[in-house]
Amino acid sequence: MKPSPSPSSRPTGRRPDKDRPDRRGGKAAPDPTRDIAFDIVEGVIVHRRMLDTSLDHSAAARTAEPRDRAAGHRLAATVLRHMGTANEVLSPFLKREPPEPVRVVLLVGVAQLLFLDTPAHAAVATSVALARRRGLVPFAGLVNAVLRRVAAGGAQALDGLDQARLDVPPWLWQSWGRLARPIARALGHEPPLDLTIRPGAEAPPGGEVMPGGSVRFAAGSAKVVDLPGFAEGAFWVQDMAASLPARLLDVKAGERVADLCAAPGGKTAQLAFAGAEVFAIEREGRRIERLRANLARLGLSGVQVIHEDAAQWRPDAPLDAILLDAPCSATGTIRRHPDAMWIKRPRDIATMTEGQDRLLAASRDMLRPGGRVVYAVCSLQPEEGEQRALAAAAMGLVPDPFTPDELAFLPQARTPEGWLRTHPGMLADRGGMDGFFAARFRRA
């Protein structure tokens, strides 16, 4: 499951002297890329902070150049994608469990050696220097010895390892059933960049048109803000799977539609460009600012953005349609957020489903008779997907299955019940997609 090496996947922003620890025992030279990666990985596995939150907490990141922040983020994400395998590789060389910060240093070193093709001398030396900067001088020799032995084995250290299974926590593997292996294989790779193109606009050159119309660029091949048309609002970033729920709501011009839990705004934009009168509801303050900024770039000034809890908000008149992309465990986006694997716990799912049921009940109450709602989650967990569809039916919402014609461009995503289920292993030869569940209902 080793990803193809590319220049963009290697830590950058390093001067040659940063590769050498201070042999006199003094403080090692700064290395923002690896300091940021250390802060992120430690934040995730020790403090159970999300990756982006850990990045915000990183002192090294606050003063780093953008390229160092990006390289540190990429290195940390590589550690988290392959953490089970990396720990298995380290196991024979550790006679006893090291302190957590030391293990983090070792994981950063292994990720560089085995998954980013960093030259062995650089990966070892920078890891020793990282240990010194983190006040782990007594363990610098251990770091040096262990990583040298890993480097000596090279890629053969991965021979015979079931990387797919090692890199997924057992409870998640079990919950995904027969799909666990194709999902896990896809999680080891950085996801591509997908764009949804505004109606009438030109797609940036060089992308691949995917089923459903999304335009895809290979991972690391394009920076979205540099693509032609970005500033003019010709497109927005949206995984191809994430574009499907709004499409399947099938809104008509003039319909009154609510996008509940609307940030960052991709689905809101789809509804607005279809000609609907859109109410975009978002509870979180920071997310609503991002929602407003994205809609402004796209020129969608007519959307009514409402800062309120969607479970409590009610329209002044019944709605024709609702898109409920509910807060969830987000296990379907682990390719982009590998920290979720190591932060989420089975008990978290039960908490999420309670909120999802409240939002489903609220959606039912907002609709006119015959009005429709698409319930969607970027989750691979059946408790948040298939089981919530059954709960919605028990609330009095009438199932309105997606037809084969509606999903003719991606027939493998249609379940026997007429629901939508995508996962990262779907279209794996073309870059895969996020995991989504969606089901459509009408109010009786």
- Residue numbers annotated as active site: 378
Which three-class secondary structure state does DSSP give residue 444?
coil
242 among annotated binding-site residues: no
Locate tokens 């027969």: which residue? 178
Q: Does residue 39 have a known ligand-binding role?
A: no
Annotated ligand binding at 348? The verdict is: no
325 belongs to an annotated ligand binding site: yes
Q: Return the exposure string of 273-292: e unless at least 16 CB atoms fall within 10 Å of the residue's CB, then b.
A: bbebbbbbbbbeeebbeebb
Q: Is 266 annotated as a binding residue?
A: yes
Task: At 285, give phi and psi (nearest 5°).
Answer: -60, -45
In degrees, rounded to 5, the angle at the alpha carbon of residue 242 between the alpha carbons of residues 240 and 244 is 80
Annotated binding residue 277: no
**CB-hemisphere CA count at 13 Å for 211?**
17
- Ligand-binding site membership of 261 (annotated): yes
CA distance 398 to 256: 20
User: Cβ–Cβ contacts within 10 Å for residue 264, how many?
Assistant: 18
Task: Count Cα atoms within 13 angstroms, Cβ side, for 159.
Answer: 6
Q: Is 432 annotated as a binding residue?
A: no
User: Could you identify the residue written with the tokens 């982009």?
Assistant: 336
- Judge whether 264 is annotated as a binding position: yes
Both tokens assigned to 138: 């007594």
CB 344 within 8 A of CB 331: yes
Please indicate if the annotation marks 309 as binding a ligand: yes
Helix (H) or strand (E) holding 102: helix 100-114
15: DSSP letter: -
- DSSP, collapsed to helix, strand or coil, labels residue 397 as strand
Residues 293-302 as b/e (b if ≥16 CB within 10 A, e otherwise) read: ebbebbebee
Binding-site residues, in ranges, read: 261-267, 282, 309, 325
Binding-site residues for S-adenosyl-L-methionine, in ranges, read: 261-267, 282, 309, 325
